[in-house]
């Protein structure tokens, strides 16, 4: 007799993921990027699916249903077993596979997870969704200019915002807006893929400032450094309930930052653009919400889609519209598509009943047992012995200089960070056929190696990827954009083999560097109060872009300069990037203006005047913070840590940022955590109940 019902949801967009429901509850879910270590990785879903199946101890044959969604659904024309690579649904697997359209999947991610009984409304806004002919949720929804979208051009119109009502266990489409396919220009801050799209403009501005259209969060962090009044033109025309983009304003922008130096040299220019784009996004989002809420007006809004990650705009929804209750699905971007697919399968395809969630945890990763962690610790070898590092780097260049022969030639301009252990940080800059290497800081190389075209090409073998693999990926490209644009794979072992030079540093173990501490919470709180910066790894990982106390870097927010220290020495990211606070739920109104639950760090709030100078490392330039309120129900150890820190220090706020550095995905496994710990200036790693030092 079959014991459980399993529904697998899978998202095949960028930011791919898989989610497994067991009898209607998520038992495991994972974003693909956590497994491949490539930010925003997506499309083929086999790896994420296998992670879920293995975690639950089942096979694809045990599934009752698979529900999938891809942003370009037409690719399913190749069949379910093939989506940019082989998938587990081969002909001998008898599981039914259902395909749903993009905004509908976003919508069901909120229906499945939101804490309201109903009725409530659902709003989806993102850069681009499914094409008109792929949408299975149009029904009787109002579609502006519907008569234009017909027959043989229906596949050229894409979802940009969708509005639904939910009551009596039914989700009904009310309003769906479509725009024609746009075009892509990497230097142009306009709609990518879909015209007149709010998300598209924001992505375009991110591309313009940071050379990466996926850096929307960074753009939001940059915006407060800009000034009002520098730009007066409207970016969005708001008419008849719809958003249109003023492309005349966008065409005036003709100075995309083509390098980080250019961005830094003209910081104010880019900050002013970020400011204006942010303000315009807020105006457009509020306009849509006011207009759509007037169509039903339940007062309860569930919200998802990439634009829903804009924590600053989200705060205004509560203060500037009729929305009384707001639920934002924390994996609001395309990473949440698998969650929506899974709930669609359970609620619609299988016709089961919806459960309102009391304990709204968003942590669905595998929990690692004490035995597993102990095994990882005892077998871990510190492969990055500094004594050997310089030799290795030198050898790397010696190999190039000694004429290691490439088989392809290309042109590239890229910065590669090599980042090993505390003080052994290197940067390689490849530009115009010249390669520069610096030990330490950023962008002012003190060691330059001249390369000819052939030598340069040793690190440019494949234009699709750029990663230098050396001792398990310890040399990494500095950011995703460069990964995307200039990708090359160079296997240092290959170079080693061909050149006859050994690059591998010697190994040493860390057996004397960790302790099992049942009182790890008290000890961690003490370390934090002493000014230490600790990596905090507990239980199953968060699903979504924010670290919420499972894979976090924590510090005392009162320490002067701690923000700059973590940015420069641990996260290796720009100094304007803010850090968020985690605070005991019951104390939130002590430090922040609103006594509001905000468990997912997806709403900003203002820091109270009297606290700004005391906890300045978590106060952004405009006096706001992206607050995380912590409760004991699904984050018990993190809650106890905040309590313990409060007993020692008198405050119940910690600086909380994700356990990774710039360009790196958040760590997933104990091994990932150890690797990262030994490659940066973190003082301690608290790995479950083990405390690791250096």
Q: How far is the CB of 164 from Fe ion (least distance, A)?
A: 15
Count of residues interacting with Fe ion (CB under 5 A): 2
Q: How far is the CB of 108 from Fe ion (least distance, A)?
A: 13
Cβ distance to Fe ion smaller for residue 45 or 126: 126
Q: How far is the CB of 331 from Fe ion (least distance, A)?
A: 11
Contact 73, 64 (CB under 8 A): no
**Which residues does 145 contact at the CB level (< 8 Å), separation at least 6?**
none
Q: Pick the stretch among 267-275, 290-298, 328-336, 557-565 that binds Fe ion (CB under 5 A).
A: 328-336
**What whole-number distance in Å separates Cα of residue 219 and Cα of residue 275?**
9
What single DSSP character describes residue 554? E
Q: How far is the CB of 338 from Fe ion (least distance, A)?
A: 12
**What whole-number distance in Å separates Cα of residue 693 and Cα of residue 381?**
14
- Print burial letters for 398-418: b (CB count within 10 Å at least 16), e (below 16): ebbeeebebeeeeebebbbbb
Tell me the sheet residues that pair with 19: 9, 29
What single DSSP character describes residue 592? B
Cβ distance to Fe ion smaller for residue 126 or 419: 126
Which residue shows structure tokens 């003209």?
266
Task: Tell me the three state secondary structure of residue 357.
Answer: coil
Cβ distance to Fe ion smaller for residue 45 or 334: 334
Which residue shows structure tokens 């600790």?
534
Looking at residues 112 to 131 of the shown chain, list those that interact with Fe ion (rule: CB under 5 A). 126
DSSP sequence for 380-424: -EE---HHHHHHHHHHHHHHHHTTPPPS------EEEEEEETTTE
Looking at residues 155 to 184 of the shown chain, list those that interact with Fe ion (rule: CB under 5 A). none
- Closest alpha carbon to 236 in 300, 281, 180: 281
**What whole-number distance in Å separates Cα of residue 143 and Cα of residue 158?**
12
What's the token pair of residue 266?
Answer: 């003209």
Cβ distance to Fe ion smaller for residue 15 or 668: 15
Which helix (DSSP H) or strand (DSSP E) does residue 244 occupy? strand 242-245
Cβ distance to Fe ion smaller for residue 102 or 626: 102
Cβ distance to Fe ion smaller for residue 88 or 200: 200
Q: Pick the stretch among 74-82, 279-287, 333-341, 493-501 that binds Fe ion (CB under 5 A).
A: 333-341
Q: How far is the CB of 128 from Fe ion (least distance, A)?
A: 7
Q: How far is the CB of 127 from Fe ion (least distance, A)?
A: 7
Q: How far is the CB of 334 from Fe ion (least distance, A)?
A: 5
Cβ distance to Fe ion smaller for residue 126 or 133: 126
Q: Pick the stretch among 74-82, 110-118, 213-221, 334-342 that binds Fe ion (CB under 5 A).
A: 334-342
Q: How far is the CB of 332 from Fe ion (least distance, A)?
A: 9
Residue 158 CB coordination number (10 Å): 29
Cβ distance to Fe ion smaller for residue 256 or 340: 340
- Closest alpha carbon to 439 in 511, 487, 480, 389: 389
Distances, alpha carbon 377 to alpha carbons 516, 643, 687, in Å? 11, 28, 10
**What whole-number distance in Å separates Cα of residue 130 and Cα of residue 120?**
24
Q: How far is the CB of 333 from Fe ion (least distance, A)?
A: 7
Cβ distance to Fe ion smaller for residue 215 or 419: 215
- Closest alpha carbon to 533 in 558, 582, 566: 566
Q: How far is the CB of 200 from Fe ion (least distance, A)?
A: 11
Q: How far is the CB of 440 from Fe ion (least distance, A)?
A: 40
Residue among 45, 334, 417, 672 that touches Fe ion (CB under 5 A): 334
The answer to whether the bond into 509 is cis (omega within 30° of 0) is no
Cβ distance to Fe ion smaller for residue 133 or 334: 334
Count CA within 13 A, CB hemisphere, residue 469: 13
What's the token pair of residue 178?
Answer: 């479509």
DSSP sequence for 556-567: -TTSTTHHHHII
Cβ distance to Fe ion smaller for residue 32 or 563: 32
Q: How far is the CB of 142 from Fe ion (least distance, A)?
A: 21
Looking at residues 504 to 523 of the shown chain, list those that interact with Fe ion (rule: CB under 5 A). none
Cβ distance to Fe ion smaller for residue 84 or 689: 84
Count CA within 13 A, CB hemisphere, residue 49: 24
**What whole-number distance in Å separates Cα of residue 109 and Cα of residue 579?**
27
Per-residue contact string for residues 228-267; x = within reach of Fe ion by CB under 5 A? ----------------------------------------
Looking at residues 280 to 319 of the shown chain, list those that interact with Fe ion (rule: CB under 5 A). none
Residue 484, interface with Fe ion (CB under 5 A)?
A: no
Q: How far is the CB of 159 from Fe ion (least distance, A)?
A: 8
CA 671 centroid distance within chain: 20
Cβ distance to Fe ion smaller for residue 73 or 118: 73
**What whole-number distance in Å separates Cα of residue 198 and Cα of residue 631?**
34
Task: Report the residue number whose CB is nearest to Fe ion.
Answer: 126
Task: Tell me the three state secondary structure of residue 484.
Answer: helix
Cβ distance to Fe ion smaller for residue 199 or 557: 199
Q: How far is the CB of 129 from Fe ion (least distance, A)?
A: 6
Count CA within 13 A, CB hemisphere, residue 104: 30
Contact 521, 313 (CB under 8 A): no
Task: Tell me the three state secondary structure of residue 633.
Answer: coil
Looking at residues 524 to 563 of the shown chain, list those that interact with Fe ion (rule: CB under 5 A). none
Residues of this chain that interact with Fe ion (CB under 5 A) are 126, 334
């Amino acid at each position: 007799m079959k014991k459980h019902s399993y529904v697998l949801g899978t998202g095949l967009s960028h930011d791919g993921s898989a989610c497994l429901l067991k009898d209607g509850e998520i038992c495991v879910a994972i974003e693909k990027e956590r497994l491949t270590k490539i930010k925003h990785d997506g499309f083929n879903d086999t790896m994420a699916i296998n992670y879920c199946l293995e975690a639950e101890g089942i096979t694809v044959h045990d599934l009752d249903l698979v529900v999938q969604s891809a942003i370009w659904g037409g690719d399913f024309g190749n069949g379910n077993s093939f989506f940019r690579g082989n998938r587990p649904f081969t002909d001998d697997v008898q599981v039914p596979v259902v395909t749903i359209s993009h905004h509908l999947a976003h919508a069901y991610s909120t229906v499945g997870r939101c804490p309201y009984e109903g009725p409530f409304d659902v709003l989806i806004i993102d850069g681009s969704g499914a094409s008109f002919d792929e949408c299975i949720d149009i029904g009787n929804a109002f579609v502006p200019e519907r008569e234009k979208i017909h027959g043989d051009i229906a596949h050229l119109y894409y979802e940009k915002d969708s509005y639904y009502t939910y009551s009596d266990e039914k989700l009904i489409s009310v309003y769906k807006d479509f725009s024609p396919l746009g075009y892509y220009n990497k230097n142009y801050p306009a709609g990518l893929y879909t015209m007149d799209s709010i998300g598209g403009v924001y992505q375009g501005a991110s591309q313009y400032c940071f050379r990466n259209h996926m850096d929307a969060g960074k753009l939001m962090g940059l915006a407060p450094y800009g000034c009002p009044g520098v730009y007066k033109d409207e970016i969005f025309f708001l008419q008849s309930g719809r958003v249109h983009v003023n492309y005349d304003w966008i065409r005036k922008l003709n100075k995309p930052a083509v390098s980080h130096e250019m961005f830094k040299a003209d910081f104010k220019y880019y900050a002013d653009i970020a400011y204006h784009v942010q303000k315009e996004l807020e105006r457009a989002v509020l306009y849509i919400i006011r207009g759509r809420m007037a169509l039903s007006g339940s007062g309860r809004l569930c919200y998802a889609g990439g634009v829903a990650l804009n924590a600053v705009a989200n705060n205004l929804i509560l203060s500037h519209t009729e929305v009384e209750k707001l639920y934002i699905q924390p994996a609001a971007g395309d990473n949440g598509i698998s969650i929506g697919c899974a709930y669609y399968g359970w609620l619609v395809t299988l016709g089961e009943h919806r459960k309102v969630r009391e304990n709204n945890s968003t942590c669905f990763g595998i929990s690692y047992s004490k035995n597993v962690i102990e095994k990882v610790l005892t077998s871990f070898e510190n492969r990055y012995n500094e004594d050997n590092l310089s030799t290795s780097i030198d050898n790397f260049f010696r190999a190039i200089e000694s004429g290691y022969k490439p088989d392809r030639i290309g042109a590239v301009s890229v910065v590669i960070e090599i980042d090993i252990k505390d003080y052994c940080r290197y940067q390689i800059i490849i530009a115009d056929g010249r390669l520069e290497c610096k030990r330490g800081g950023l962008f002012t190389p003190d060691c330059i190696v001249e390369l000819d075209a052939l030598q340069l090409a040793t690190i440019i073998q494949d234009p699709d990827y750029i990663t230098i693999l050396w001792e398990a990926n310890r040399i990494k490209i500095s950011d995703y954009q460069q990964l995307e644009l200039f990708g090359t794979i160079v296997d240092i072992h290959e170079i080693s083999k061909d050149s006859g030079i050994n690059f591998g540093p010697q190994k040493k173990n860390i057996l004397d560097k960790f302790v099992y501490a049942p009182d790890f919470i008290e000890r961690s709180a003490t370390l934090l109060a002493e000014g230490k910066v600790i990596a905090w790894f507990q239980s199953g990982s968060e699903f979504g872009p924010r670290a919420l106390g499972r894979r976090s870097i924590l510090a005392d927010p009162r320490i002067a300069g701690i923000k700059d220290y973590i940015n420069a020495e641990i996260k290796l990211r720009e100094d304007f990037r803010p850090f968020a606070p985690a605070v005991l739920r019951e104390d939130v109104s002590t430090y922040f203006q609103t006594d509001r639950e905000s468990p997912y760090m997806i709403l900003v709030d203002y820091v109270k005047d009297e606290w700004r100078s005391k906890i300045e490392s978590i106060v952004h330039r405009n006096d706001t913070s992206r607050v995380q309120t912590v409760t004991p129900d699904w984050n018990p150890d993190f809650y106890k840590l905040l309590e313990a820190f409060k007993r020692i220090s008198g405050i119940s706020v910690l600086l909380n940022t994700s356990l990774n550095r710039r360009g790196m995905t958040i760590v997933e496994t104990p091994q990932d955590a150890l690797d990262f710990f030994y490659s940066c200036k973190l003082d301690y790693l608290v790995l479950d109940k083990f405390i690791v030092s250096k």
